[in-house]
Amino acid sequence: MDIIRKITKANLCGRGGAAFPTAKKWKMVKEAKGEKKYVIANGSEGEPGVFKDTYIVEKYPEKLIKGVLLAMEAVGAQNAYLYLRADLYEKHKKNLREIIQEKILRQAQNDTIKITVFREDGKYLNGEETTLLNSIERKRSEPRYKPPYPTECGLWGCPTLVNNVETFYQVAQIADDNYKNQRFYSISGKVQNEGVFELEVDLTVDQVLKKTKNYPERAFFVQTGGGAHGFIYTKDECKNALLQGAGALVVHDYQEDPLEILKFWTEFFLLRNCGQCIPCREGFYRINQLLKQDEIDYELIKEILYVMADASYCGLGQFAPEGYLDFIKKILKR
Amino acid sequence: MPKINVQINGKRYTTEKEVSILKFCQEIGVEIPTLCFHPDIKFHANCKLCVVEIEGWPRLNPACAIKLQEGMKIQTDTDRVHRTRRMILQYVFGEHVTDCKDCLRSNNCKLRKYAKQYKVEKPIFKPRKKNRPLYTCGNTITFDTRKCIECRNCIDVCRKQGIGFINLERKGYRSTVKPHDEPKNDCIYCGQCINHCPVGAIHSRKEFDCVMDEIKNKDKIVVCQIAPSIRVSIGEEFGIPHGQIMTGQLVAGVKKLGFDKVFDVQTGADFTTIEEAKEFVDRLQNNKILPMFTTCCPAWYKYVEQKHPELIPNCTTARSPNMMNGAIIKEYYSKLINVPREKICVVAVMPCTAKKFEVERRELDIDGVPPVDYVITTRELAHMMRLSRIDLSKINEENFDSPIGESTGASAIYGASGGVMESALRTAYFLATGKELKDVNFKQVRGSLKGIKRATVEIEGTELRVAVVNGLGNTEEIIAEIKQDPEAYHYIEVMTCPGGCIAGGGQPLPVNDEIRKKRAEALYQIDTKKKIRVAHQNPEVKKVYQDFFDKSPGLAHRILHTHYEPRSKSEVEMYTCPIMKKFTKKNSNL
């Protein structure tokens, strides 16, 4: 059975956060017209609460490269990039290059295929797929307007498959008939057992916390998704809430100053947005200013967030307000 | 083409065009506000003011970026849309320091219009850029980063011009648009960035207040000379439709401002045509360096000096019409009226911002006297008129003053891309053959939309290969061609601004292809209506040659020609408000 059909059967979805069906994306690139095609493994991982890609690059580099090679074969690409966050690149470039060399030689498909280990030259936003493409092309690191999507017009204008590091790992698992319908969860915050855990997909937050022996004794709330992006769930909601996004779970308790959490997110986004579109650039600047005031105008902040979610250029501005609005409603009760 | 059915604000439309929502709405008369969108360049979709609601789409979407699709149901004016637009405008006012009283754009300012329309006259955010610096390049173009909303139009248009002088630095809220630090990268002062800035954050050196002071000075004869393309564009500043010929009204308006004499740069253009055609025929017949490049465009010849000094021998030495005209006023006219040339102040109204740089070229001075003292743009002139409550739509026509007021059809078309070439060919034909053309029209070189126009023209058995470059961004293609084959062309015209002077950096705004076409058509109308359509038959010009130039050999060359030198990067000055730098004329003897 060919790999795309196997992936379809396994029902694998992208693990970068958007959960796009992997087989569908591969098919799109496979069927796209273009002399050259590219495959890119996205290891830019920048959300404060996500560290599972780091874990995979460290523990399972062979699986990652196997997944990439499978993708290259499946979509007909001669070139691939392992796009790694600077610290990951520095730490693992040697090892990864050795594995690539060995794998390519052993498989001996042909000697024209090439996998480049690429050092990310910016931060955070480069994880957004079109920003990543710009970054490889040495352009300013900021998103491109979609459409066209990378699947038809990506790196240097060629059809390009961009998948998260974990997605490629899972593809290798599928190919080896090892896939157990699992995903990696990154758990951090006010817990005893911080770390990365491989558990079934479709678990509720409660189940994840309990299975990893992380269920807090004190009253708590969690952010799921990324640690800056992501919905907020109160203790009660955790019973039914599913864990989405990039599989991060950040646990907070009520002893923290809620304002500090807001300020942490705001500073995070303020320093990491590209500045391209007004709703996001100005929105975060103004939220940052408003949070510094003695009397905080939450109505205005909410208005800023609605507009940001409704009109921003890329996922950063479109989805960042979700966490804020949840937080203001559920935790601050405004 | 398949038909596309769409609904806009509940009304059904069928179209075959694959256009953006914005373009379609503009065509059917549904107004959508825009800031960062300009039809000359690819959409940015970063101001997000043009957002609309599309049924079934989760978010609002920018109308400039989304193409019409079958079955789309679009709402352009819902509460949700207004809510976003209002917030965007608030952000814009939080970025853009409103300093309207000094702004030449204040009379047709989009921001002010939208502020009223969307009721955001009261700002809720403090202006965050008020301490940012201003950058002035070569004393000509100023980037006021306090007003910039980072739409990036200037960056794109500068790249399109083949310069790439403007750069975006840093990220997020700290990002700043500023001149390039790279020493090899220099501004050519074409002013296209000004024309594409939606908020007036870039402007050229303002000289109109100095001119007002000169007019008041009773000791001086203040002469105004007007470039060909102004007469077909200035009407727009007074609400007159595009492409209206306003020659008489313009002269009357300028006289009303208090200028002592109003002369026509078209007369100067006839001189340029003759001198340039003479040089061309000389190069052609005596096997001198070819191809010859025109140099009426000051931005273009600055580009040659800074980037292609190897092409300097290919540039005609004939001065631009503006400089010839100024020189004739100061050298010839001053003697006619018996006034020392130092007592004459020449103010040129130009469609161009690079002309402001040209007057600072000391090699053009004649015995230390600059031929032109001030250059003001069309926009500046209109601003002066508005300040003096002169409305060109309600004024009786007057004529240019003698003896520099008569012009031919050949000079009118100088303002459009291909015009200089056509005029020179008309006269070159006469100079080479001694005969007049039966048909003076060279339609192959006309047109404001095509980037490069190539043509072959036959003069008495000799086949001339000519090229017209329309927009500086296209020159490298031609330069590459002549590097490969030096005999590829005989004669090349280059105009920096797409469309030519009619869409120059100092012209009324907005400018787009449709407007370029209308303004150019008006110039060709002037040409067709003129009795004399070749420069060498201009009676005034003939008289000056007879009475003045022919009497002292070498004089024509001394005051009608110039030379070029390799050039290094001009100074970029940075300063912050409130220590605003006041404009001073450098090395001026005034």
For residue A81, give the DSSP letter: E
pLDDT at A112 over 90: no
> How far apart are the C-alpha atoms of A202 and B561, rounded to whole Å?
82
pLDDT of residue A109: 57
pLDDT at A11 over 90: yes
- CB B524, CB B416: distance < 8 Å: yes
B43: which chain A residues are within 8 Å (Cβ-Cβ)? 145
Q: Looking at the DSSP assignment, which residues form a beta bridge with residue B137?
A: B141, B572
Measure B68 CA to nearest chain A CA, in Å: 13
CB-closest option in A275, A309, A313 to B171: A275
A289: which chain B residues are within 8 Å (Cβ-Cβ)? 125
Determine the residue of chain B that is closest to A268 in CA distance: B172
- Cβ within 8 Å of residue A149, ≥6 positions away: A28
Determine the residue of chain A that is closest to B85 in CA distance: A307
User: Quick one: which of A162, A121, A120 has its CA closest to A26?
Assistant: A162
Domains of chain A: 3-175 (3.40.50.11540), 182-253 (3.10.20.600), 258-331 (1.20.1440.230)
Architecture of the structural domain at B4-77: Roll (3.10)
pLDDT of residue B589: 35
Q: Looking at the DSSP assignment, which residues form a beta bridge with residue B177?
A: B168
Reply yes or no: is the peptide bond before residue A216 cis, omega within 30 of 0. Answer: no
What's at B138, amino acid-wise? G
Please identify among residues 216-275 of chain A the ones whose CB lies closer than 8 Å to any CB of chain B: 270-275
Q: How many CB atoms lie within 10 A of CB B285?
A: 11
Rg of chain A (C-alpha set): 20
* Alpha-carbon separation of residue B432 from B319, B436, B557 (angstroms): 22, 10, 20
> How far apart are the C-alpha atoms of B252 and B261, rounded to whole Å?
11
Q: What confidence category does residue A107 fall into, taking pLDDT thresholds of 50, 70 and 90? A: low
B175: which chain A residues are within 8 Å (Cβ-Cβ)? 275, 281
For residue A183, give the DSSP letter: E
Find out if CATH 1.20.1250.20 is the number for domain B220-560: no
User: Quick one: which of B6, B582, B570 has its CA closest to B299?
Assistant: B570
B128: which chain A residues are within 8 Å (Cβ-Cβ)? 285
A310: which chain B residues are within 8 Å (Cβ-Cβ)? 51, 59-60, 80, 84
Please tell me the CATH code under which domain B92-208+570-576 is placed. 3.30.70.20
Q: Sheet of B292-293: strands edge to edge?
A: B292-293, B491-495, B462-470, B452-459
Please identify among residues 108-147 of chain B the ones whose CB lies closer than 8 Å to any CB of chain A: 124-125, 128
User: Is any Cβ of chain B less than 8 angstroms from the Cβ of A322?
Assistant: no
For residue B77, give the DSSP letter: S
> How far apart are the C-alpha atoms of B125 and A192, rounded to whole Å?
44
- Give the best residue of B20, B22, B54, B91 to mutate against chain A (max A CB count within 10 A): B91
- Give the best residue of B46, B90, B170, B175 to mutate against chain A (max A CB count within 10 A): B46
CB-closest option in B45, B84, B172 to A313: B45
> How far apart are the C-alpha atoms of B149 and B129, rounded to whole Å?
10
> How far apart are the C-alpha atoms of B416 and B35, rounded to whole Å?
28
Q: What's the average model confidence in pLDDT over A219-236?
A: 94
- CB B501, CB B351: distance < 8 Å: yes
Q: What's the average model confidence in pLDDT over A27-56?
A: 96
- CB B305, CB B567: distance < 8 Å: yes
CB-closest option in B150, B168, B173 to A140: B168
pLDDT of residue B459: 85
- CB A80, CB A39: distance < 8 Å: yes
| Chain centroid to CA B431 | 31
* pLDDT < 50 regions, chain B: 579, 582, 586-590
Q: Does the pTM exceed 0.90?
A: yes
Pairing of strands A79-84, A114-119: parallel
B93: which chain A residues are within 8 Å (Cβ-Cβ)? none
pLDDT at A73 over 60: yes
- CB B567, CB B187: distance < 8 Å: no
> What are A61's two structure tokens?
């580099």
What's at A189, amino acid-wise? G
A146: which chain B residues are within 8 Å (Cβ-Cβ)? none
Domain boundaries, chain B: 4-77, 92-208+570-576, 220-560
User: Is any Cβ of chain A less than 8 angstroms from the Cβ of B174?
Assistant: yes
Q: Is the ipTM of this complex over 0.90?
A: yes
> How far apart are the C-alpha atoms of B457 and B195, rounded to whole Å?
35
DSSP run (H or E) holding A114: strand A114-119
A-B CB pairs within 8 A amount to 85
pLDDT above 70 coverage of chain A, percent: 98
> What are B584's two structure tokens?
């001073």
Q: What's the average model confidence in pLDDT over A170-174?
A: 97
